[in-house]
Amino acid sequence: MPTYAHPLAWLLALEGVALLRAQAGDLGDEEFVTRRIAEIRDLLADPDLALDAGTVVGHATTTEGYAQWAERYDAEDNPLIAVEEPLVRRILATLPAAGRALDVACGTGRHTAFLAGLGHEVVGVDSSAEMLALARAKLPDVVFHQADLHALPAESAGFDVVVCALALTHQPALGPALRELARVTRPGGHIVLSDVHVLSLYLGGVAKVGGPDGGLRAMPAGRFLAADYIAAVHEAGLQIVACHEPRWGDAPGGHGGPLARQRCPEAAIAAYHDTPAVIIWHLRRPPSPAGR
């Protein structure tokens, strides 16, 4: 289904979310609501916004998208990673070190490097040749493979720790990926997953890249709820150790992107305030009956 994006619609949507949260009692008082209504009137009356045409957003594959992102991925100030990375690393630091670790959808190797620093023998896998080229340049001693996460080039039960960060959202279904992650994890081993929270997707978190005609194209983004993960985890024969939903905090310059920060910064902050940014799962493959 095509997506139609319009700058004015985006700003009004943020105002609407802020008003919904005020009506629910999460934040805001009479003056807050009055300011929102006045700001909405100003936005609707702005001829520049009214005349600014919207655009139909096309679709891009993950291969196309990450090929574009690769060169600037490490340089970008990504607020999603700023929320995700500390908690993922905190979990990994509690696990037994000096084992074998697999970083699935490793990208440029940010978690790969951390696992190696913990003393693990690490293998990285990603479908993007461009992202892997950067990972190999940063970590020449690590073995990397270009492969899809549904067919990992790894032996069954071969890894003590498996990480898959910010990748399952791009999948049409969770089950096949979870079963493959379970396959390569040894009995008693651990899996750490992170993903874009479904609420963040509705707040502009669907990744977009440029198209050949200069327009925008959206990468796949499944609207998976916690219940969908739980069902897929259990079907894969895994156990849930913990689930975390770290929330958006303060972001340098505000939330919602440049247009929102310029035209409705208070509404944007209210829309993002205390909303989950990512969902992080710590899973375990049950030990075999004979022990760990």
Provide DSSP, 149-201.
TTS-SS-TT-EEEEEEES-GGGSS-SHHHHHHHHHHEEEEEEEEEEEE-HHHI
pLDDT confidence band for 292 (50 / 70 / 90)? very low
For 8, 81, 82, 139, 216, the CA distances from 110, given in Å and listed in that order, are 36, 10, 12, 10, 27
> Percentage of the chain with pLDDT > 90?
78
Q: Is the pLDDT higher at 105 or at 252?
A: 105
- The answer to whether residue 51 is domain-embedded is no
Q: Is the pLDDT higher at 284 or at 207?
A: 284
- The answer to whether 79 and 251 are in contact (CB under 8 A) is yes
Q: How would you class 221 by CB atoms within 10 Å of its CB: exposed for 0-12, middle for 13-18, buried for 19 or more?
A: middle
Residue 148, token pair as written in the block: 């899809």
pLDDT confidence band for 2 (50 / 70 / 90)? low
What residue has token string 């994890």? 185
Q: Is the pLDDT higher at 273 or at 232?
A: 232
- The answer to whether 109 and 73 are in contact (CB under 8 A) is no
pLDDT confidence band for 66 (50 / 70 / 90)? very high
- The answer to whether residue 276 is domain-embedded is yes
Give 217-252 pLDDT, tens digit per residue.
999 999 999 999 999 999 999 999 999 999 998 877
> Percentage of the chain with pLDDT > 70?
98
Rounded mean pLDDT, 28-45: 94
Rounded mean pLDDT, 111-115: 98
| Strand, coil or helix: 240 | strand
- The answer to whether residue 192 is domain-embedded is yes
| Counted domains in the chain | 1
Q: What is the pLDDT of residue 287?
A: 95
- The answer to whether residue 11 is domain-embedded is no
- The answer to whether residue 82 is domain-embedded is yes
In the chain, what is the straight-line distance between the N-terminal and C-terminal CA atoms, in Å?
48
C-beta neighbour count of 112 within 10 angstroms = 26
- The answer to whether residue 1 is domain-embedded is no
Helix (H) or strand (E) holding 124: strand 121-126
Rounded mean pLDDT, 33-38: 97
Q: What is the pLDDT of residue 4?
A: 84
Give 153-168 pLDDT, tens digit per residue.
999 999 999 999 999 9
- The answer to whether residue 268 is domain-embedded is yes
Residue range(s) defining the domain that contains residue 230: 57-284
Write the CATH number for 122.
Answer: 3.40.50.150
Average pLDDT, the chain: 93
What residue has token string 């396959």? 183
User: Among 103-112, 119-128, 217-226, 251-260, which stretch is predicted with the lowest mean pLDDT?
Assistant: 251-260
With 0.75 as the threshold, say if the pTM is over it: yes
CA 184, CA 252: separation in Å to the nearest integer? 39
- The answer to whether residue 202 is domain-embedded is yes
